[in-house]
Chains A and B, each alone.
Chain A
Amino acid sequence: MTTPLLEVSDLRTWFPSGKSEVKAVDGVSFSLAPGEVLGLVGESGSGKSITGFSIIGLIDEPGRIVEGSIKLEGRELIGLSPHELRAIRGKTISMVFQDPMMTLNPVLSIGTQIKLALEAHETISSADARERAIKALAQVRIAEPERKVDFFPHQFSGGMRQRVAIAIALLHRPKLIICDEPTTALDVSIQAEILAEMKDLVAELGTALIWISHDLATVSSIADRVAVMRFGKVVEIGPALGVLTKPQHDYTKALLDALPSRAKPGELLLRGSGIADAAPPPRKAATSDLPPLGSPYLVIDAAVKRFEKPAGLFRNLAIRSGIAQPRPVVQAVDGVSITLKRGEVLGLVGESGSGKSTLGRMAAGITVPTSGTIRLAGKPVMSGGRSPHKVTTRVQTIFQDPFASLNSRMRVGDIVAEGPLAHKLVSRAESAEYVARWLSAVGLDPSFANRFPHQFSGGQRQRIAIARALAMQPDVIVCDEPVASLDVSIQAQIINLLIRLRSELDLSLIFISHDLSVVRHLCDRVAIMYQGRIVEEGGAATIYDNPQHDYTKRLLAAVPVLPTAA
């Protein structure tokens, strides 16, 4: 057996917090052969990222490595001086981060940033640095590198920026690259491209890789070996195929069971089903004029949304006299007609910029369509006139980010009660009781009503957001990526909650997501959006098993698939 490139043994990285210590990494051991790809999987807080940062010696104060050893080609890294560590960083070990929007400096050109990274480890003339930068960009398959080298990060898309970050990480031919969720912020098709390129590059250059991710399917498509982490410990490590098809540890099994892609569509997912939820409160009698289940309910007809900046006086003059070009108009939604039947779950799938969220906002009466109509049971969702506003409470929305969508200065009870009180669905005297029932309906302790949102985890906050939407007694809920920012096990709980509430309350859902497996699991019908239009629409099973449109086929092919036990 060859000597390992990296040997981590009994690594413990702790963060003091008050009087106690948070044991972020608590006894992690593994080794990595040259050129090997190790997947490091776990949910948030499992210590996978901190493990990566410990190896490269970038633990933020006041965290510290309390014990253990990290040996790179037999040389102990723990205890090295900052100067010696800096000589290794970027040269022998480099790192790629999650969000390419945040990692590159927005005010420096790509060429300058590459030059700075080159100068960190060698003296190089400006002309040579430029040439190396162009070569580095060409290596990560950026078209026209001679021109692109002078671009600034904001002129690149997310995928391109991540390629630039990878190019910088590869500059000095490191022996090890640590990738911390490098494709999580990207669209599936971009993710598939980056994964494929990364695989090729690693094979070509013989670089070892530690691929940190929460997504088992992505990891399975690139890693030779997989380590599953929980509570700062590695619970299971082994060849990728073995760990993912024949998991030994209960936690690995539970993680796999929580994935919607592994369950039958529409069934409750195994994880998170253990919570006993109370029955939702009775609905108002006023909603008895509902059409029967299965009949057309929310009808979107030829909806168009254009975003344009109004031009000022001088610009108008300049445009008329032909000096300036009119500002580009963004056609976010370009003539979409779709019907949501009552009691149905409609999935709206597309990549970023496809217009799915804008369509959802128009359906929910938040954004005014430029043209076209949106009607709920024959009545318009928004009033007419110069400044239209929403006129129905029957459509409610759940937003993606439960950290941003809840007012952090209001108590949970007030957040949930605000809408129903404003629309006189309950009296002030009844509201506490009303809120308590809805909180228990979404699986939260009713006593939480007196707390503030920051005291809750992401999954709990999303439950609060769901309770807030449901308390308005809607018939239609527009869910805009409601599980995108959650861990798989929490995601499973929220999906289960939505499945259950939908059947108990006869809700109709518009479920907006980029995650094809979640949509497959939850939705009856799916519409695929691309560049503001719906390119394909149909029953979920039909679309997934027999896609017609090229874009749909490409999208489905890009989704990483977990290996299944033979």
Chain B
Amino acid sequence: MLGFILQRLWQAAIVVLAMSALVFCGVYAVGNPIDVLISPDATQDIRAAVIAQYGLDLPLWQQYFGFLGRVFDGDFGRSFVYNMPVSELILSRLPATLELTLAAVLFASLVGIPIGMYAGYRPNSPVSRAIMALSILGFSVPTFWFGLMLIMLFAVQCGCMPAGGRGDTVSLFGVDFSFLTTDGLSHIILPALNLALFKFSLMIRLARAGTRELMLSDTVKFARAAGISEFTILSRHVLRLISIPLVTVFGLELGSTLAFAVVTETIFSWPGLGKLIIDSITSLDRPVMVAYLMLVAMLFIVINLVVDLTYALLDPRLRKGRA
């Protein structure tokens, strides 16, 4: 098991290194941030001084290795736009995205999986058919449209929900969270719902397909022949057996939502990472972009590692090979 984790960390290091080089070169090709940073009527001397200050006069490889060296010391550089350390900037935005994403993914799983299992258990009942029709809708409706509709309905028409922003936050361990105040909670519901819709439909379909197949298996037949109740069969046998694909998708969705909740965050003006990255791309804030994309790569690696370890926890057959 230890060897397995070591191997994964080694792979992770290589991936992050490759990612940093790719991103650095890519962003370098996008454009010169100096044009955005200083006003066009600045003198040539000021312009040269600013360029030298940010080290933009050096050749690309020197800039890259200088950056790498600083990263090893924990310094991702300073944002051109906000003029503060990038690590601080990202950390200040991360909790907002984290709580929004977790709320969305947990809602999608905790509600979607039981509903999907029901639809798989009684595939021909009218309720199940309605569930499946809904899930197709959830797949096909564009996120931005659904978000706008939510705002129209709940914020504009009823006025019972706020249309955007984070609301009151409470500091916990030095980090600000919204979900601990009623005002914050009312702010998180709509964006979380919007973000959850697609994942919700996905979880329903996966849980349904798995359950439907398993209900015909000999394992379930044997459990029934032993007189075990249908609820116990579903909760103890079937749920455990369908959990592996569910965990895989859960991990992937968690990662991609954390990294790319851009649309929802923009619509609901949620001050998270998605908004930060969009802003930094428009203002060519190179250090933020590089650090952010490296963080995303790290995030996926960590999530995948956790998912793999969860497999071993869920399925004893997978433990043997790695022990």
Expressed in whole angstroms, the Cα–Cα distance for A323 and B3 within the complex equals 10
A468 to chain B, nearest CB (A): 32
Contact A169 B236 (CB under 8 A): no
Sorting the interface of chain A by its residue count into under 10, 10 to 19, 20 to 34 or 35 or more gives 35 or more
B317 lies within 8 A of A116 (CB):
no
Chain B residue contacts of A86, Cβ below 8 A = 224, 227, 229
Q: State the CA gap A108–B237 with chains docked (Å).
A: 8
Query: Which one of A96-104, A188-196, A392-400 contacts B?
Result: A96-104
- The reply on A513 being an interface residue by CB < 8 A is no
Contact of A152 among B216, B226, B229, B316 (CB under 8 A): B316
Please classify the interface of chain B as helix (H, G, I), strand (E, B), loop, or mixed, using the class held by over half of its residues.
Answer: helix
Chain B positions 103-157 with a Cβ under 8 Å from a chain A Cβ: none
Contact B240 A58 (CB under 8 A): no
Tally of A-B residue pairs with Cβ under 8 A? Answer: 99
Contact B218 A154 (CB under 8 A): no
Give A41 Cβ to nearest chain B Cβ, in Å: 21
* B51 lies within 8 A of chain A by Cβ: no
Which B227-246 residues have C-beta < 8 A from chain A?
Answer: 227-229, 232, 236-237, 240-241
**Interface residue? A318 (CB, 8 A):** yes
Give residues 99-147 of A contacting B (CB, 8 Å).
99, 102-109, 112, 116-117, 119-121
Once the chains bind, are A56 and B225 in contact (CB under 8 Å)?
Answer: yes
The answer to whether B219 and A94 touch across the interface, beta carbons within 8 angstroms, is: no
| Inter-subunit contact A90/B226 (CB<8 Å) | yes
Task: Let me know if B25 is at the binding interface, CB within 8 A.
Answer: no
Within 8 A of A (CB), among B254-277: none
Q: Is B315 an interface residue (CB 8 A)?
A: yes
Report Cα–Cα, A365/B314, bound state, in Å.
40
Instruction: Report how far A27 CA is from B139 CA in the complex, Å.
Output: 50
Complex CA–CA separation, A117 to B7 (angstroms): 41
Question: Is B217 engaged at the interface, CB distance under 8 Å to the other chain?
Answer: yes
Are A90 and B227 in touch, CB under 8 angstroms? yes
Query: Do A58 and B224 touch across chains, with their CB atoms under 8 A apart?
Result: yes
Kindly list chain B residues whose C-beta atoms are within 8 Å of the C-beta of A471.
none
CB nearest to B216 among chain A residues: A60
Tell me if A99 and B3 are in contact (CB < 8 A). Answer: no
The answer, yes or no, to whether A95 is at the interface (CB within 8 Å) is yes
CB of B218 within 8 A of CB of A102, answer yes
CA distance A113 to B237 in the complex (A): 9
Question: In this assembly, does A312 line the interface, its C-beta being within 8 Å of a C-beta of chain B?
Answer: yes
Q: A314 to B226, Cβ gap below 8 A?
A: no
Contact B221–A97 (Cβ < 8 Å): yes
Query: How far, in Å, is A254 (CB) from chain B's closest CB?
Result: 31
Interface positions, chain A 152-195, Cβ under 8 Å from B, are: 152, 154, 165, 168-169, 171-172
Nearest chain B CB to A305 CB, angstrom units: 21
* B240 smallest CB distance to A (angstroms): 5
Most chain-A CB neighbours within 10 Å: which of B7, B226, B240, B316? B226
* A residues in contact with B216, CB < 8 Å: 60
Highest count of chain A CB atoms <10 Å: which of B3, B219, B222, B314:
B222
Residue of B nearest to A86 (CB): B227
Min Cβ gap A333→B in Å is 24
Known interface pairs A86-B229, A108-B240, A154-B317. Does A103 touch B224 (Cβ–Cβ under 8 Å)? no
Is A89 engaged at the interface, CB distance under 8 Å to the other chain?
A: yes
Residue numbers in A under 8 Å from B7 (CB-CB): 312-314
Tell me which residues across on chain B come within 8 A of A121, comparing CB atoms.
227
Contacts of B10 in A (CB 8 A): 314
Question: Can you report 29 residue pairs joining A to B where beta carbons are below 8 Å apart?
Answer: A58-B221, A58-B224, A60-B216, A86-B224, A94-B225, A94-B227, A103-B218, A105-B223, A105-B241, A107-B241, A108-B237, A108-B240, A116-B236, A119-B228, A120-B226, A120-B227, A120-B229, A152-B317, A154-B320, A165-B222, A168-B222, A169-B225, A171-B226, A313-B7, A314-B7, A314-B10, A315-B3, A323-B3, A324-B3
- Chain A residues with a Cβ under 8 A of chain B: 56, 58, 60, 86-91, 94-95, 97-99, 102-109, 112, 116-117, 119-121, 152, 154, 165, 168-169, 171-172, 312-315, 318, 323-324
